Structure 1
Amino acid sequence: MSSATSRSSLPSGLAVLTTFPDVLFIPELIFGGLVWILIAASKVLDPTLLGWVMFVSVFCFVMTATLLFLYMCGAHGGSSSWVTLDAICQVTAALFYLSAAVLEAYYTIGLRALFTLPELRSIYQENIAAVVFAFVATLLYVIHQIYSLRRWKSS
Structure 2
Amino acid sequence: MATNTGHVGYLPRGGAIFCTIPDILYLPELIFGGLVLSLVASTYILPYNPQAYVISVAIFCFLVTFFWLLVFACGSHHNKSSWASADVAYHGFAALLYFSASVLLAFITIFWEAAAGRDTLIYKLDVAAVVFAFLTTLLYVIHTVFSAIRWRSF
The TM-score, its normalising length taken from structure 1, stands at: 0.91
Q: Structure 2 vs 1, CA of residues 129 and 114 (structure 1 numbering), >3 Å: closer, same or farther?
A: farther
1:116-137 deviation per Cα after TM superposition (whole angstroms, max 9, x unaligned): 55xx211111110000000000
Residue 96 of structure 1 aligns with which residue? 97
Unaligned 5+ runs, structure 2: none
Report if aligned partners of 1:98, 1:135 keep a CA contact under 8 Å in 2.
Answer: yes
Q: Specify the SS of the correspondent of 1:43.
A: coil
| 1:137 and 2:136 aligned | yes
Aligned mates of 1:37, 1:13 — CA distance in 2 = 29
Equivalent residues in 2 for 1:3-152, closer than 5 Å:
3-4=4-5, 6-113=7-114, 116=117, 120-152=119-151
Aligned-pair CA distance for 1:9: 2.4
Aligned-pair CA distance for 1:42: 1.1
Aligned mates of 2:116, 2:48 — CA distance in 1 = 20
Unaligned 5+ runs, structure 1: none
Aligned-pair CA distance for 1:107: 0.7
Aligned mates of 2:126, 2:143 — CA distance in 1 = 25
Aligned-pair CA distance for 1:8: 2.1
Aligned-pair CA distance for 1:4: 2.5
Letter in 2 for 1:154: S
Aligned mates of 1:76, 1:90 — CA distance in 2 = 16
The TM-score, its normalising length taken from structure 2, stands at: 0.92
Aligned-pair CA distance for 1:47: 1.5
Aligned mates of 2:25, 2:59 — CA distance in 1 = 17
Letter in 2 for 1:149: A
How many positions carry a matched residue from both structures? 152
Q: Structure 2 vs 1, CA of residues 62 and 111 (structure 1 numbering), >3 Å: closer, same or farther?
A: same
Q: Calculate the aligned-residue CA RMSD, in Å.
A: 1.6
Large movers: runs of 4+ above 3 Å = 113-117
Q: Specify the SS of the correspondent of 1:21.
A: helix
